[in-house]
Amino acid sequence: MPLSMGKKILLSLLVVALIPLGVAGFIMYRATDKAMKQEVIAGLSALSASTLEHFVDYVNEKESTVSLLSRTPVVYKAMQGYERVLKQQSPADDFAALERSYRPLLRFYTHFGFSDLYLFSTRGDIVFSLLEKEWVGHNILGTYFEGTELAVVFKRAKKSSRTEVSEFKIFQPTKKPAAFIAAPIMKGRAVVGFMAFKLNTVGLYQHVKDYSGLGKTGEIVLAALDGKDIVFVAPLRHDPEAAFRRKVRLGSMAALPMQHALNKEEGAGISIDYRGKSIVAVWKYFAPMRLGLVIKQDTSEAFSLFGDLRRWLFIVAGLTLLFVLAISALVARSMTRPIRALHEGAERVGAGDLSYRVGTMQRDEIGQLSRAFDEMTLNLKRITASRDDLDREIAERKQAETKLRQSEEKLLEYSKNLETMVDKRTTALKALQRKLIMKEKLAAIGQLSSSVGHELRNPLGVIGNSVYYLNMKLKHGDATVAKHLDILSREVRRSNRIISDLLDFSRARAPALRLGDINLLLKESVSAMEIEDNITVNMSCMAEVPSFAFDGDQMHQLIVNLITNALQAMPGGGHLTLKTEVQDGSVLISIEDSGVGIPEAERDRIFDPLYTTKARGTGLGLSIVKGIVERHGGRITVKSKAGEGTTFTVRLPLEKEAG
């Protein structure tokens, strides 16, 4: 599995930080270790040197003391006296005297650090012994003392005629460790006997037990060769009963420092002691007594400072490791966090969330990258937005295109129908134009006819009056004159009717509606008209019509106009049929003639004002009729057949609509 970037950074930082740290620590550790050991060994060496000096001084002092005492006249005299007694050259009472004279003094001598005192003849006979009185008379060179250090030191003193120091060994006669100093007793330049002191071990051991500068585990070891063993000759700190009891084998690890010392070497080293503990030891040879001196200390104590140091070193190293770890983790996080944020941003943006911003204030490269990323996202958003706009525009254009296509199709369709439509429109326009022209024409006619009509009525009235007067005067006169007066009268009426038509047409006033009986009106109108005898009027088909609202005058005029037309259509006589019927809330008034009929081509125009097919007539009659019908909310239709007659049907509503 590949390491994550954070772990890589962490690991590399650790490696970079810890390798030098480890190397430096190791070097420092080693240097400190060496210096420390050297320091400890130097300390121990100095201590051993002074200890050895103490021993040497001690032995030298005892040696000097012995030399001094051996030269005192008291010793010589005591020597001579005791020798004589032994040789029985002196009487027994002399011995008592000797004892009295010398024994206290000799005993006093032992106070200089000795425990026993012996006097020898030159041949080796023991002439005096302070404590071992039974030895007196025995020769030191005899078998009893053979091999003892006392015998050895006697021989050496006798041989050298000087003060000699023995080794420190178990003294067989007493089975106790002992060391002796022997010195010749001189008379002048002649040796007359020998004197020997047994060293007080307490004095010797006193130095051994001085542990100052040796801490809690350090000790001074005095050792001697004992065959194949090395024997400890002084009490040990860790074993007070060790003297001449504890032994170690030559060549064993525990024997090494002492072995070196007994080989008269000086040195120092690390070893294992009799307890099996690691020690640092310094060894020296104690020549006067032929002993090995070893000063040693447990390494645990000797190097305890170093142990502390090492502990501190480990603590510091550990803390440094932790610190480095923490810093590395922080650095790694500070580096990976923005990367993770970037990663998240990339995923979010990839998922389409273009409003996502990493948003960092960092000034490093990752910060720059984040800002560049944000900028990229922003640009992407803009581009997407403009793309959306584009898409929308495309969609709109497509829509427009579709519409255009549809329009084109429609246009094509229109163009196909255009001709028809144009024709239709042209027809409609022509009709409209005709109507407009007609309307204008009518308006002009209306104005003109109104004023002309009124003005004509006065002269007509005067003419009428004149005719009336002439009729009064010439009533019973000439028949031809009477006929002409009638003609005048008739023509005045006709002129007046023309004027009335014109005026009615031009006024076109709103109907004054009053309830009335249409059948009655029809009958009255017919009876008021002058109908020729060759016309038969049929009014048998009159339905029962309820009273309804209409303008009586206008309706009268309507009837008169229609009947007039009917009569004019039947110049040679015929049938005039008037009918009423009620149908679907309307009243139908039909006026039927058996006249010439209206040609189909003219039927559309007969209601147009001023249109007439007759030789005489204003062409306003049907137009007026149509106006009246329309102002009453009705309709007028015409059915006609050439040569058979015409039927006008007026349909009027019985109930006027509100308003």
Q: Does 454 bind another protein (CB under 8 A)?
A: yes
Q: Does 631 bind another protein (CB under 8 A)?
A: no
Q: What are the backbone angles phi and psi of residue 320, rounded to the nearest 5°? A: -60, -40
Q: Does 115 bind another protein (CB under 8 A)?
A: no
What is the widest separation between alpha-carbon atoms in the chain?
Answer: 260
Query: What is the closest distance, in whole angstroms, from the C-beta atom of residue 465 to another protein in the complex?
Result: 3
* Residue with Cβ nearer another protein (362 or 496): 496
Q: Does 448 bind another protein (CB under 8 A)?
A: no
Options 466, 534, 536, 538; binder of another protein; rule CB under 8 A:
466
* Residue with Cβ nearer another protein (414 or 469): 469
Options 463, 482, 582, 610; binder of another protein; rule CB under 8 A:
463
Closest CA to 191 of 232, 214, 157: 157
What stretch of H or E contains 61? helix 5-70
Q: Does 325 bind another protein (CB under 8 A)?
A: no
* Residue with Cβ nearer another protein (376 or 512): 512
Query: What is the closest distance, in whole angstroms, from the C-beta atom of residue 473 to another protein in the complex?
Result: 7
Select the span of 89-97, 158-166, 456-464, 620-628 touching another protein (CB under 8 A): 456-464
Query: What is the closest distance, in whole angstroms, from the C-beta atom of residue 446 to another protein in the complex?
Result: 13
Q: Does 104 bind another protein (CB under 8 A)?
A: no
Please, what's the b/e burial string for 440-457 (b: 16 or more CB within 10 A of its CB; e: otherwise)?
eebeebbeebbeebeebb
Q: Does 213 bind another protein (CB under 8 A)?
A: no
Q: Does 507 bind another protein (CB under 8 A)?
A: yes
CA distance 137 to 123: 12
Query: What is the closest distance, in whole angstroms, from the C-beta atom of residue 499 to another protein in the complex?
Result: 9
* Residue with Cβ nearer another protein (314 or 469): 469
* Residue with Cβ nearer another protein (454 or 483): 454
Q: Mapped to the 3 state alphabet, what secondary structure does 536-564 carry?
A: EEECCCECCCCCEEECHHHHHHHHHHHHH
Query: What is the closest distance, in whole angstroms, from the C-beta atom of residue 536 to another protein in the complex?
Result: 29
CB 568 within 8 A of CB 614: yes
Instruction: Enumerate long-range contacts of 405-410, CB under 8 Å, 24 or more apart.
Output: none
Closest CA to 360 of 343, 374, 377, 376: 374
CA distance 313 to 462: 159
Structure tokens at 388: 């959306």
CA distance 496 to 492: 6
CA distance 210 to 510: 163
Identify the burial level of 150 via C-beta atoms within 10 angstroms of its C-beta, where 0-12 means exposed, 13-18 middle and 19 or more buried: buried
Query: What is the closest distance, in whole angstroms, from the C-beta atom of residue 448 to another protein in the complex?
Result: 15
Query: What is the closest distance, in whole angstroms, from the C-beta atom of residue 510 to another protein in the complex?
Result: 12
Select the span of 216-224, 501-509, 523-531, 637-645 touching another protein (CB under 8 A): 501-509
Q: Does 430 bind another protein (CB under 8 A)?
A: no
Options 469, 486, 534, 571; binder of another protein; rule CB under 8 A:
469
Options 92, 472, 479, 615; binder of another protein; rule CB under 8 A:
472
CB 241 within 8 A of CB 252: no
Q: Does 496 bind another protein (CB under 8 A)?
A: yes
Query: What is the closest distance, in whole angstroms, from the C-beta atom of residue 628 to another protein in the complex?
Result: 16
Query: What is the closest distance, in whole angstroms, from the C-beta atom of residue 468 to another protein in the complex?
Result: 5
Q: Does 633 bind another protein (CB under 8 A)?
A: no
Q: Quick one: residue 113, left, alpha or beta (phi over 0 = left, psi -120 to 50 = alpha)?
A: left
Options 464, 597, 633, 653; binder of another protein; rule CB under 8 A:
464
Query: What is the closest distance, in whole angstroms, from the C-beta atom of residue 503 to another protein in the complex?
Result: 6
Q: Does 403 bind another protein (CB under 8 A)?
A: no
Query: What is the closest distance, in whole angstroms, from the C-beta atom of residue 652 to another protein in the complex?
Result: 24
Task: Identify any residues that bridge with 139 across adjacent strands, giving them in sequence order.
Answer: 125
Closest CA to 84 of 128, 117, 116: 128
Select the span of 27-35, 88-96, 293-301, 451-459 touching another protein (CB under 8 A): 451-459
Query: What is the closest distance, in whole angstroms, from the C-beta atom of residue 471 to another protein in the complex?
Result: 9
CA distance 247 to 241: 12
Q: Does 488 bind another protein (CB under 8 A)?
A: no
Full strand arrangement of the beta sheet holding 574-583 = 535-538, 574-583, 586-593, 645-653, 635-641
Structure tokens at 341: 């944020």
Residues in Cβ contact with 524 at an 8 Å cutoff, skipping those fewer than 6 apart: 556
Number of shown-chain residues binding another protein (CB under 8 A): 21
Query: What is the closest distance, in whole angstroms, from the C-beta atom of residue 605 to another protein in the complex?
Result: 29
* Residue with Cβ nearer another protein (430 or 497): 497
According to DSSP, the β-strands at 180-187 and 164-165 are antiparallel
Q: Does 225 bind another protein (CB under 8 A)?
A: no
Q: Does 455 bind another protein (CB under 8 A)?
A: yes
Q: Does 465 bind another protein (CB under 8 A)?
A: yes
Options 20, 91, 173, 459; binder of another protein; rule CB under 8 A:
459
Options 327, 395, 462, 481; binder of another protein; rule CB under 8 A:
462
According to DSSP, the β-strands at 535-538 and 574-583 are parallel
Query: What is the closest distance, in whole angstroms, from the C-beta atom of residue 501 to another protein in the complex?
Result: 13
Select the span of 450-458, 601-609, 620-628, 650-658 touching another protein (CB under 8 A): 450-458
CA distance 462 to 406: 76
Q: What are the backbone angles phi and psi of residue 542, rounded to the nearest 5°? A: -105, 115
Query: What is the closest distance, in whole angstroms, from the C-beta atom of residue 504 to another protein in the complex?
Result: 9
CA distance 36 to 343: 56
Options 245, 473, 494, 641; binder of another protein; rule CB under 8 A:
473
Task: Identify any residues that bridge with 230 across adjacent strands, giving them in sequence order.
Answer: 225, 248
The helix-helix angle for 304-350 and 365-473 (nearest 10°) equals: 20
448 residue type, one letter: L
Select the span of 247-255, 453-461, 541-549, 620-628 touching another protein (CB under 8 A): 453-461
End-to-end CA distance of the chain: 99
Q: Given 3-state DSSP classes, what are the helix, strand and coil percentages for the chain, each rounded to the nearest 5?
A: 55, 20, 25
Q: Does 468 bind another protein (CB under 8 A)?
A: yes
* Residue with Cβ nearer another protein (212 or 458): 458
CB 581 within 8 A of CB 592: no
Which parts of this chain interact with another protein (CB under 8 A)? 454-455, 457-466, 468-469, 472-473, 492, 496, 503, 507, 509
